[in-house]
Amino acid sequence: MAKSVLVDLTRCIGCRGCQVACKEWNERVARKTIFRGDYSNPVRLSSDCYTRIRFEEKEEASGPVWSFVKEQCLHCKNPACVSVCPVAALTKTENGPVVYNYDRCIGCRYCMVSCPFQIPTYEWDSARPWVQKCSFCSERIKDDLVPACIKVCPTTTMFYGEEGEVMLEARKRLQDNPDKYVPHIYGEKEAGGTAWVYISSVPFEDLNFRMDVPQVVLPDLTWAYISKVPALFGVVFVAGVTGWVITRRIDAASKEDQS
Amino acid sequence: MTNHWIDLRNSDVILIMGSNAAENHPISFRWVTEAQERGATLISVDPRFTRTSAKADLYAPLRSGSDIPFIGGMINYILQNDLFHREYVRLYTNGPFLINEEFKMPGDLDGIFSGYDSEKRKYDKKSWAFQTNGDGVALQDPAMTNPMCVLQQMKKHYARYDMETVSSITGTPRDLLEKVYSIYTATGKPDKVATIMYAMGWTQHTVGTQNVRAMAIVQLLLGNIGRAGGGVNALRGESNVQGSTDHCLLFHILPGYLRTPVASLPTLEEYNTQATPTTKEPLSANWWSNYPKYSVSMLKAFYGENATRDNDFGYSWLPKLDDGQNASWLMIFHEMMKDKFKGFFAWGQNPACSGSNAGKVRQALAKLDWMVNVNLFDNETGSFWRGPGVNPADVKTEVFFLPCCASMEKEGSITNSGRWAQWRYKAVEPAGESWPDSEIMNELYFRVRTLYEKDGGAFPDPIVNLSWEFGPKDSQGKVTAVDTHLIAKEINGYFLEDKEIKDTLYKKGSLVPSFAFLQDDGSTSSGNWLYCNSYTDKGNMMARRSTEDPSGIGLYPEWSWCWPVNRRIIYNRASVDEYGKPFDPKRAVIEWNGEKWVGDVPDGGWPPLLNPDGTPNPKSMKGFIMKPAGVAHLFGPGLADGPFPEHYEPLECPVQENPMNKSHRINPTAKLFFEEGGDGKSEDVFYTCDTRYPYVATTYRVTEHWQTGVMTRHLPWLLEMMPQLFVEMSIELAAEKAIKNGDKVRVSSGRGEVLAYASVTSRFKPFKIMNSTVHQVGLPWCFGWQYPEDGSGGDSANLLTPTIGDANTMIPETKAFMVNIEKV
Amino acid sequence: MKNNHEIKLMTPFTLFLLLVIGLGGVLAVYRLVNGLGASTNLNDDFPWGLWIGFDLLGGVAMAAGGFLIAGAVHLLNMKKYKPIVRPAVLTAFLGYLLAVVALILDLGQPHRIVYPAVMWQVHSIMWVVAMHVIFYTMTLGVESSPMLFEKLKWQKAVDFVNKIIVPVVLFGVMLSVLHQSSLGAVFLIVPGKLSPLWSTTFLPYLFLASSVMMGLSMVSIESIASARSFNHKMNYEILNGLVRGCIIALLVYLVLKLYFLVTGPGVGAAFAGTMEANMYLLEMVGGIILPLAILAGRNRKTEGINAMVTGHVLVIGGVLLNRLNVSISGMYGFQNATGTTYWPSTIEFVITLGLIALGIFLFKLWAKYLPLFPGTEVN
């Protein structure tokens, strides 16, 4: 059964326990950072940072609004990255996680280009680099353990469960608290649906969520072309043969004319 | 905490003020969030919009150091609008008590209460007493209309804190003040309850104690103390700071909050007499009347068989303070500066970064002959001799470093803010050559004792007479391995001889079941009476792990153990009416079932005040058993700076004079280390309302680092998130100073300066104080020059903070002072 | 056959080429030893840069001349173009080889370049592309092999290849048509990232169409350059024929581009003044409209050789720009949302230049030692 997570941003206090737990479980080193004026650090997900909290500060008439947004792989139901990988190094497992297999990766980084959320990252500093991203703690899930970031969250910001159950919970919260939440489950439709979905009291565009993510199953866009490849092959073949036959005939005819 | 962490979920209104719980006590938000889910309102009051404010339903800013006007305004709001819980106030507080006619208040005396001696900066509290009848019982007016009754005096006092005045002092917009007041005070109804979560944001002021008192008054007026979801809840800053305070971390107390003896009390009897309160109130249990039982049992634990009735149980071996001596934190380094100390153990602390006016602390350390630094890591204290601006050749102090274990490397208990003593097991072996603190002390004790035994000395008795039964001993009498369980058992206490109490025989050597069994005849021992009941013949109560909650309100009575006697919500006798029925049956803490109390462990098992037929029950006792009159103190004559909290400005503040009076800008009873107009070069110098230091500043912690950062700055993951010292400021101030977000700036006070990265944010706003604009900035104090090793973290913000403390506790005023700020 | 003595290897230009190749080679080794981070400005927001956008996408488009000319001659029996079959096929072969070299340098795990041949993932357009590259490079090898066999005087081998040349060319055409369009299909999955100025489900066919004009322009430039530098006579019949083909391809491409502009983001989007819009305008005007005007309006009486050169160079530049736009500039707005930027590093530039120099040098070497221009008249 596919696992899914509802991230209720109204509950996150920005303590970043998840960020540290992730580093610990996945044995990711820290990098040297500098304080750039706001609390978000590191400034981006990286091969050493699978998840982080983004601090979003906005000024409203009523005063400041400070939101804490957890970033990690959303584990699309039909992941673009999985579909584009030429060697099937990325796979979508039955449990829900999109996982990466080091043994296959050739390092083309098409997964990174294709991801609508800019999630996969690369070990740029290595001479033998790998793609890195949140694995939804797939090894923990296999052992019936809760993913590390969810385990440490003091406010249960993340509701973890079976796919259907999670969507029901998301809808229920929106329905029960129409004044609290904006009526949008981010990830329900984005990229054709993701295993991690978000609800929020602040419009997602104000939190710098990608609002330009197509609400379609992305691999379908490529498949529409690839599925035509054999036919295209055939068309070119037939055209080529026909062209050859016709031009030879014309040639022969002109030779006959000359003779 | 009067209550405990889980209990936060029971609240209807949670006020977080003087604390930033979401950042510094993130786990508390598990329960705060649960309360919010249930419909509770969360209010955040803070100079700065914090991660707590981000989660709050209502945020109100206030200028650092103006908490008493803010809360005083709320008291006024309650009293003017008659919103208090009348029955509660009448039954459980000294609200109806009549105060002496001579008593005068700051409204009459331009900022001070009656009895002030400006020479000594002290009050003569004679006039702060209650009127009594011939038997010495306080006179009361149950209707609380007598103008001299506490409630009416209080009303008069706080009438001065009207909305307009409060707003002009705090800088809080009026509409926000009204909102906070109306939401919070709506819990004066019996079926509503509100709680306060506070921390160092309240205590680290010259009026710190009174900040907390002011809120306690609000909670008493609204009937919120003793109730599930209520109380006055101090969020302790370290996992075991509650435990260390219980076990006498501070100079003025011995374990269990017994008093440190003073030189003028040479005998145990004099000491006990002086420390034991008496009362004539008929319904007062006056629990402290048991004082001699606790002090004698403690001495028996200290000195064992060497403590006998004939030698006052070794009372004379206890260290004594000189009369009136203050030996608090600030004084230690003040005296050290004056060469009064030869040696110093910096045990599990980093004063070179944590001490207010840390520059002075660093100078003081150089006056020592030797210092022993006991810590997980070397720190800015242990390495002060090679710190910034210090030439090692000039420092004569010899420094020793003893590496000790982290909490997870040893077994023992910690006591959390909710007073739960929780037993922890050793998770990993100690790293390297580090030892548990107990082993270091054991070694130290043995060596010192051997020296005394061999060489004698001025006063070997306190050492050579100590009882030290903490494990198997070798041929020389040295404990070879300290057994933490034996320490815990000694803290609980033993019967030292067969003793029959209430028809039950307790055998010699058995553990005392609870402090009610402790004796003043030397037949029992107890290292800390408050913890008597924590380790009994039934086992180690602190190690219990049952998740049963028969109460349904999250008491979990068999999860660990809680002082006193496993009472999870103290003052719970105040959660019921005179018949013992809960004010709020939905959240009942205790209830009288006709025969006994059910629910939490009550504050004494006496029956309710009234019989079912409405007649008074003479067997009953009032619920605030630790108070001589059995009632809570709306009027608190025990404090140094006044029976009612009054606003005084911080030592350094942005206003010329106290807006509440003309003559007393700062707390008139706070000890001054520096006289204005004195030697400008003094390390204790301050500058108030001075154009050189025009901005209010405060210090705080961040989620990512802990205290001075000794433990967290060594963790690259945490440093990655919060790498360097920063200073937060408003967009308006930044514009004035041409500072951009992320710029490097210099923050300076009269005492020092630090470099920090600017965080220009809408989360700080300029304040309108007395019709002028006041800017405030804030910076965390978790950094230090030593780690990270490249020095990129910056230095301690305590280089800026002043040398002055609270009038009662001497907790330094690090939460409000004045600085300048400039772009580097 | 003997060496083509007209072709001088040791010219200052060749030495310059060798210098650039050497520099590129050293930096390529540096790249392999130290990794992508040390040698490129690529980052997590810009995982693809100059090497993919220019070397690979551009290189492959440049090679389109190979299948076009081979197809025209062998399949459509357009004998007129026979003299340029060999240089065209060689260009394609070199173009592919160099694109593969660039790809190897760009791959994080270069030694695993053959993995797609073993680990099939038919849903991946990248896998489709990889298979094409493998097969088409082999096809081009076969198509070019007679030159080597002739030099070695392996007549039997020459005869054998000649016997199978028609199906081989047909296979090559099939692969190329698919391959050129497949490179466009690579960007079908990023409609949210790629600016709508370029993003359309028709992208594969736009790539194919643009590769046709690019291929013809490349062959033209090459013929003119070869004629000049190797001192051959210009074959205006061929050159004019190529121009005609190029004009038709340009017209078709222009119409398609305008159609997708109007039906897509609208004409206004091209004039929005953003970096993307300006790049789009540059591509449209400088790479399509201007060369179309120059090529169509050239003076046929003077044979307009300069106009031809200008027109073809603009076409080539325009298509290269298009590839860079699709792979980099068109996604810039999305990818630099976090503030990160991308501009190729010096190493990326030098290696790219090294690859171009290598291509020219190998072409020259081939022309000198192998029968690249059989039966061409020498001036």
Reported as a single tens digit per residue, the pLDDT across A131-188 is: 999 999 999 999 999 999 999 999 999 999 999 999 999 999 999 999 999 999 999 9
**Other beta carbons within 10 Å of B441:** 16
Which structure tokens are listed for B65? 């150091």
> Which of B293, B295, B313 lies closest to B303, judged by CA?
B313
pLDDT at residue B361 greater than cutoff 50 = yes
Put simply, whether B700 touches A (Cβ < 8 Å) is: no
Q: Residues B536, B539, B541, B546: what is their CA dihedral angle, to the nearest 10 degrees? A: -150
Mean pLDDT of chain B: 96
- Please say whether the beta carbons of B7 and B226 come within 8 A: no
Chains B and C, touching by 3 or more CB pairs within 8 angstroms: no
| Rounded average pLDDT over C107-121 | 91
C47:A244 CB<8 A: no
- Residue B149: strand, helix, or coil: strand
- Please say whether the beta carbons of B390 and B420 come within 8 A: no
Percentage of chain A exceeding pLDDT 90: 89
For residue range C225-257, list pLDDT tens digits in order: 888 877 777 788 889 999 999 999 999 999 999
For residue range B560-604, list pLDDT tens digits in order: 999 999 999 999 999 999 999 999 999 999 999 999 999 999 999
State ipTM.
Answer: 0.93
- Please say whether the beta carbons of B801 and B673 come within 8 A: no
Which structure tokens are listed for B179? 């909102």
Of C109, C126, C174, the CB nearest to A237: C174
C126:A86 CB<8 A: yes
Question: Which stretch of DSSP H or E encloses residue C158?
Answer: helix C155-185
Work out the minimum CA distance from C95 to partner chain A, whole angstroms: 20
CB burial class (10 A; 0-12, 13-18, 19+) of residue B475? exposed
For residue range B534-560, list pLDDT tens digits in order: 999 999 999 999 999 999 999 999 999
B757:A34 CB<8 A: yes
- Sign of the C-alpha dihedral, residues B77, B80, B83, B85? positive
pLDDT number for residue C137: 87
Alpha-carbon span C223 to C235, nearest angstrom: 8
First to last CA, chain C: 19
pLDDT number for residue C129: 87
What would the 3-class secondary structure string for B733-754 be? Answer: HHHHCCCCCCCEEEEECCCCEE
Residues of chain B neighbouring A202 (CB-CB closer than 8 A): none
Work out the minimum CA distance from A36 to partner chain B, whole angstroms: 5
Find the length of chain B. 824
Work out the minimum CA distance from C247 to partner chain A, whole angstroms: 22
- Quick one: how far is CA B249 from the chain centroid? 11
Cα–Cα distances in angstroms (integers) from residue B88 to residues B149, B221, B421, B637, in the given order: 16, 8, 31, 21
pLDDT number for residue B677: 61
| Rounded average pLDDT over B605-618 | 95
| Rounded average pLDDT over B784-789 | 95
User: Whole-model pTM?
Assistant: 0.93
Which structure tokens are listed for A186? 């981010």
Alpha-carbon span B240 to B729, nearest angstrom: 33
C123:A80 CB<8 A: no
Which structure tokens are listed for B343? 């040696």
| Rounded average pLDDT over A197-222 | 94
Put simply, whether C134 touches A (Cβ < 8 Å) is: no
Q: Where are the beta strands (DSSP E) in chain C?
A: none
Question: What single-letter DSSP state applies at residue A72?
Answer: S
Least confident of A251-255, B485-489, B717-721: A251-255
pLDDT bucket at C5, cuts 50 / 70 / 90:
low
Q: Phi first, then psi: give them for residue A161, nearest 5 degrees.
A: -175, -165
pLDDT number for residue C278: 95
Q: What angle do CA B92, B97, B99 make, to 5 degrees?
A: 145
pLDDT number for residue C4: 66
Which residues from A are below 8 Å from B when comparing CB atoms?
Answer: 11, 13-17, 19-20, 23-24, 29-39, 41-42, 57, 59, 63-68, 154-156
pLDDT at residue C375 greater than cutoff 60 = no
Q: State the chains in contact with C (3 or more Cβ–Cβ pairs under 8 Å).
A: A
pLDDT number for residue B76: 98
Which structure tokens are listed for B310? 């004939």
Alpha-carbon span C296 to C351, nearest angstrom: 36
Alpha-carbon span C238 to C249, nearest angstrom: 16
Alpha-carbon span C325 to B138, nearest angstrom: 89
Alpha-carbon span C172 to C299, nearest angstrom: 36
Place of tokens 């909490």: B407
Chain A: residue whose CA lies nearest to B730 = A64
| Rounded average pLDDT over B689-693 | 95
Alpha-carbon span B800 to B803, nearest angstrom: 10
Which structure tokens are listed for B794? 């910056």
Per DSSP bridges, beta strands B370-375 and B398-403 are parallel
Put simply, whether C272 touches A (Cβ < 8 Å) is: no
Alpha-carbon span A41 to B757, nearest angstrom: 14
| Rounded average pLDDT over C300-305 | 74
Q: Phi first, then psi: give them for residue B17, nearest 5 degrees.
A: -145, 135
Alpha-carbon span C362 to C344, nearest angstrom: 26
pLDDT number for residue C148: 87
Interface test with A, best of B717, B730, B777 (most A CBs within 10 A): B717
- Considering only CA atoms, give the Rg of chain A: 25
- Please say whether the beta carbons of B762 and B731 come within 8 A: yes
Across the strands, what pairs with A86? none
Find the length of chain A. 259
Cα–Cα distances in angstroms (integers) from residue B118 to residues A106, B115, B278, B505, B652, in the given order: 82, 10, 31, 58, 20
Interface test with C, best of A104, A106, A190, A244 (most C CBs within 10 A): A106
pLDDT bucket at A248, cuts 50 / 70 / 90:
confident
pLDDT at residue C3 greater than cutoff 80 = no
pLDDT at residue B679 greater than cutoff 60 = no
Q: At what angle do helices C203-229 and C236-263 cross, to 10 degrees?
A: 150
For residue range B724-741, list pLDDT tens digits in order: 999 999 999 999 999 999
Which structure tokens are listed for C339? 């503030």
**Other beta carbons within 10 Å of C360:** 17
For residue range C195-206, list pLDDT tens digits in order: 999 999 999 999
Place of tokens 């304080």: A35
Question: Which stretch of DSSP H or E encloses residue B117?
Answer: strand B116-117
pLDDT number for residue C206: 95
- Please say whether the beta carbons of A135 and A51 come within 8 A: no
- Please say whether the beta carbons of C351 and C344 come within 8 A: no
Interface test with C, best of A55, A104, A113 (most C CBs within 10 A): A113
Interface test with B, best of A10, A15, A201 (most B CBs within 10 A): A15
Q: Where are the beta strands (DSSP E) in B628-780?
A: 695-700, 726-730, 744-748, 753-761, 767-769, 772-774, 776-780
Residues 6+ apart with CB under 8 A from C70: C85, C88, C89, C143, C169, C172, C173
C190:A118 CB<8 A: no
pLDDT number for residue B622: 93
Put simply, whether C334 touches A (Cβ < 8 Å) is: yes
Question: What single-letter DSSP state applies at residue B553?
Answer: S
pLDDT number for residue C379: 38
| Rounded average pLDDT over B352-372 | 97
Q: What is the biggest distance separating any 2 CA atoms in chain B, rounded to whole angstroms?
A: 82
> Which of B216, B186, B168 lies closest to B12, judged by CA?
B186
Q: What angle do CA B40, B45, B51 make, to 5 degrees?
A: 80
For residue range C145-194, list pLDDT tens digits in order: 888 888 888 889 889 998 899 999 999 999 999 989 999 999 999 998 99
- Sign of the C-alpha dihedral, residues C18, C21, C25, C26? positive
For residue range A46-83, list pLDDT tens digits in order: 999 999 999 999 999 889 999 999 999 999 999 999 99
- Sign of the C-alpha dihedral, residues C32, C34, C40, C43? positive
Cα–Cα distances in angstroms (integers) from residue C149 to residues B511, C1, C146, in the given order: 104, 11, 5
pLDDT at residue C378 greater than cutoff 50 = no
Question: What single-letter DSSP state applies at residue B402?
Answer: E
The type of residue at B248 is C
Mean pLDDT of chain A: 94
For residue range B22-47, list pLDDT tens digits in order: 999 999 999 999 999 999 999 999 99
- Considering only CA atoms, give the Rg of chain B: 27
CB burial class (10 A; 0-12, 13-18, 19+) of residue B817? buried
Alpha-carbon span B420 to B417, nearest angstrom: 7
| Rounded average pLDDT over A211-227 | 92
pLDDT bucket at A119, cuts 50 / 70 / 90:
very high
